[in-house]
């Protein structure tokens, strides 16, 4: 009896050559001997079939990320951290991707698959097609592949192109990250990239306090959801697991990064400003009233959402309670673990979050410029935010002496190397979100780094 549907397709050969055919095997052996198949082994070890007809982009991306041995920092199933298509929902809801696919700039019409290797003699490349229900891995002439990539995607109006993905030298966004989960990100990006430069140009600013006052006076209300602390969240089932060497390493790096933020001249100006200002519009956002438990309630809610495999942008119903406890790290030091009970409808879940010791100290009291242990948590975030703004942001300041002072305070040349990387990561995120806001994300994914 005939069954509805399709069972694979016949590979058009020529020009394609089935990887498992005699000719395909011969090409593979010759390419291995020529040293042009080095990327093949890790890719084939993580080869997967796309789970939905429109998931070729997500399947290719998760396959490459796993091949590069990048830790997703979140669980896939059981205790295992592993990239899967279902986890790649940061730029588009998965239901939308199922229906429409995904464009090159988010990771349209067309197809994505990793390249497994190259045969120089025949000028052919091996395509590890993630649509294995349709075609097996196969060799194709490079010129033919190039012609296919050189066509225009009707969805974006841009040429298809290709993407090179490599493992970062260090974990990006160790302290902060920019979030587009809340719809207010559009207005925040517009304010930071468009409005702030115009405001500084329009006002006759005389000192740093005036610059900070102008910047904060019109800050969009959704700002606190835009720049967020990076946190490591665990489910209750992992509460008894000790802190791993990798976790201790990351915590130590974060502590050092936070110290570097607080050692900047800009941070000191911000602490003084927030300690002296009486503006009720500013202090609730960046003053001492922002404590660790408030931050944790938000982060743990998001963490519970991620651990549960949900991608809702609405967040949890509420954070029922939080408490801080010490966890033995290595016999000499202790790390801080913040536990929270998340209530979502009738469901209740306990999650734990590793936090920096200095963050607990920072949230312990009111702002005090003479005591580093009680400086406001928000001062750190505001410092990182101002450092990440494009250098041209400040060009409208009319007072030349003040302009020179501001440029010195935010100059990358005056920052330690580790903090430079953190700031550049945030700046790249900001540029990319700006392109998303302008619907130009597919034009150029690179962002200025200076």
Q: Is 293 noted as a catalytic residue in this protein?
A: no
**Is 171 an active-site residue?**
no
Q: Give the Cα separation of 302 and 308 in Å (integer).
A: 10
The residue whose two tokens read 């100059």 is: 411
Angle (CA) 431 435 437, round 5°: 115
What DSSP designation does 235 have? E
Residue in 294, 319, 290 with CA at minimum distance from that of residue 305: 319
Name the nearest CA neighbour of 18 among 3, 8, 33. Answer: 8
- Strand blocks (E) in 87-162: 115-119, 124-127, 138-141
The torsion angles phi and psi of 368, rounded to 5 degrees, stand at -145, 110
- Helices within 152-282 (DSSP H only): 185-190, 196-202, 208-217, 245-262, 265-276
Q: Is 269 known to be catalytic?
A: no
The residue from 22, 71, 90, 111 that is catalytic is 111
- 229 vs 40, 91, 178, CA distance in Å? 37, 19, 9
What is the spatial distance between Cα 349 and Cα 321, in angstroms, rounded to a whole number? 11
Active-site position among 129, 138, 269, 442 = 129
Catalytic residue among 18, 22, 23, 56: 56
Tokens representing 188 are 């925040």
Token pair belonging to 377: 């948590």
Q: What residues act catalytically?
A: 56, 111, 129
């Amino acid at each position: 009896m005939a069954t509805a549907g399709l069972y694979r397709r016949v590979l058009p050969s020529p020009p394609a050559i089935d990887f498992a055919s005699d000719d395909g095997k011969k090409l593979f052996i010759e390419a291995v001997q020529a040293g042009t198949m080095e990327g093949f082994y890790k890719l084939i070890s993580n080869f997967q079939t796309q789970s939905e007809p429109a998931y070729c982009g997500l399947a290719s991306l998760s396959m490459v990320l796993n091949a590069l041995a990048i830790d997703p920092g979140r669980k896939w199933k059981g205790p295992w951290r592993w990239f899967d298509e279902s986890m790649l929902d940061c730029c588009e809801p998965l239901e939308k991707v199922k229906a429409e696919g995904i464009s090159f700039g988010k990771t349209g019409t067309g197809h994505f698959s990793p390249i497994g290797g190259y045969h120089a003699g025949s000028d052919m490349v091996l395509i590890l097609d993630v649509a294995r229900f349709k075609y097996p891995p196969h060799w194709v002439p490079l010129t033919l592949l190039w012609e296919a990539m050189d066509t225009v995607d009707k969805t974006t109006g841009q040429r298809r192109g290709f993407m090179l993905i490599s493992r970062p030298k260090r974990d990006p966004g160790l302290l902060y990250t920019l979030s587009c989960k809340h719809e207010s990100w559009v207005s925040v990006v517009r304010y930071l990239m468009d409005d702030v430069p115009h405001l500084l140009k329009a006002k006759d600013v005389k000192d740093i306090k005036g610059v900070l006052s102008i910047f904060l006076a019109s800050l969009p209300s959704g700002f606190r959801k835009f720049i967020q602390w990076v946190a490591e969240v665990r489910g209750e089932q992992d509460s008894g697991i000790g802190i791993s060497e990798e976790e201790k390493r990351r915590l130590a790096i974060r502590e050092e990064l936070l110290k570097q933020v607080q050692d900047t001249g800009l941070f000191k100006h911000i602490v003084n400003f927030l300690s002296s200002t009486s503006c009720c519009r500013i202090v609730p956002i960046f003053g001492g009233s922002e404590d660790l438990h408030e931050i944790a309630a938000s982060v743990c809610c998001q963490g519970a959402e991620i651990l549960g495999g949900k991608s809702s942008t609405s967040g949890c119903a509420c954070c029922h309670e939080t408490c801080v406890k010490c966890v033995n790290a290595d016999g000499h030091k202790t790390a801080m673990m913040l536990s929270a009970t998340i209530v979502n409808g009738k469901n209740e879940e306990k999650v734990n979050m590793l936090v920096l010791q200095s963050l607990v100290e920072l949230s312990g009291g009111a702002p005090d410029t003479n005591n580093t242990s009680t400086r406001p948590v928000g001062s750190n975030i505001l410092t990182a935010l101002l450092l990440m703004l494009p250098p041209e942001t400040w060009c409208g300041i009319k007072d030349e002496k003040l302009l020179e002072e501001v440029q010195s305070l935010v100059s990358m040349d005056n920052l330690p190397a580790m903090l430079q990387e953190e700031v550049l990561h945030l700046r790249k995120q900001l540029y990319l979100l700006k392109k998303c806001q302008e619907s130009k994300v597919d034009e150029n994914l690179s962002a200025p780094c200076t």
